[in-house]
A = this chain, B = another copy of it.
Amino acid sequence: MRATTIHGARDIRVEEVPAPELKKPTDAIIKVTAGCICGSDLWPYRGANPVRPGQTIGHECIGVVEEVGSEVRDFKAGDFVVVPFCHCDNTCPHCRNGAQSVCDNLGFTLSGQSEYARVNQADGSLVSTGGVPADDLIASVLALSDVMPTGWHAAVSAGVKAGDTVVVVGDGAVGLSGVLAAATMGAERIIAMSRHEPRQKVARAFGATDIIASRGEDALAEVRELTDGVGVDAALECVGTDEAMTTAIEVTRPGGGVGFVGAPHGVELSARRLFDKNVGVRGGMAPVRRYLPELLDLVLDRRIDPGLVFDLTLPLEESPAGYTAMDERRAIKVLLQP
């Protein structure tokens, strides 16, 4: 099959590789109809994570079931499905507790930017769209495989509720999805931190009421002013750096909550600071399967449009150009068509 592979820093290729095959009776093979590039794919692209030269890359996709293992009961060839980037059996104690991203049988999509991908635990992971979605819904359905549920998890983890004032730190596709999540949950005021005009536009479309373009002390001062010196009820940390986490904690009012979904890189949490402010911190990899049914309904009912984060669509063969565009911040998020 044709697949996006990574050979080293800034060395993304599209080449012929063996198509994935069923390995376990609970597996399924998906014919990918749309995949995309994640901000986290830029870590190995930039050389920050080690790679096995030639390995496939990409964990987000939707598509049509091609083949299922002998123990798969709920799906058959031809079903159109959303593929959560993290696979789960949805029956283990952690899944039943809503922590599907720590499932006892956790797996991941490994070739989402390719023609085919394997899903472990097909019955537990996949969610049917009930037929092929309308063309103009494809981007939003694709967003449900990772980015939108991850923004949603940030809002859930921060404890966002109707009427809240919320800050979103990070204007990548996840941060923007966090804005949409907070708005959908009824947050009254949503302050997006962004200094990139195209991202500010999407943030506003998603429900941001205020934009803060400054950083550091200036940003804190602006939030203080916007909230009469009180701070916000909830902050969504969607970057993963120490600076972003510090900003999130500092803008949050005493007793408020920080939700964090950026994989921590050098983040130092001060227990004393959290104690003094009585601010809660919670987050991690999103339990995508947990949120999928609710979010899919919202998309199919056209009540949310998370696909707005895709501002560049390329054929699979041009995958390397997609990485360059995202690396140079010329694109927020790139959709790939096999």
Give chain A's interface residues, CB within 8 Å of chain B.
93-94, 97-99, 101-102, 157, 228, 230, 233, 245, 253-257, 260, 263-264, 267-272, 274-285, 287
Contact = CB atoms under 8 A, between A and B. Distances in A.
Contact of A279 (B268, B272, B282): B282
Contacts of A277: 102, 284
- Tallying the copies of this chain within the complex gives 2
Contact of A281 (B267, B272, B274): B274
A157 B277 CA distance: 13
Contacts of A270: 269
A261 to B, nearest CB: 8
Contacts of A93: 228, 230, 253
A99 B98 CA distance: 28
A279 B157 CA distance: 10
A55 to B, nearest CB: 22
Contacts of A279: 282, 284
B282 A287 contact: no
Contacts of A97: 230, 233, 253-256
Interface-centre pick from A97, A101, A228, A278 (highest chain B CB count, 10 A): A278
Given A264-B272, A268-B271, A280 B278 contact: no
A94 B271 contact: no
Contact of A254 (B94, B157, B253): B94
Contacts of A285: 275-276, 278
A39 to B, nearest CB: 16
A93 B233 CA distance: 11
A233 to B, nearest CB: 8
Contacts of A271: 245, 260, 264, 267-269
A274 B94 CA distance: 15
Contact of A280 (B233, B280, B287): B280
B278 A281 contact: no
A157 B280 CA distance: 8
Contact of A287 (B157, B264, B268, B278): B278
A272 B264 CA distance: 6
Nearest to A270: B269
A278 B101 contact: yes
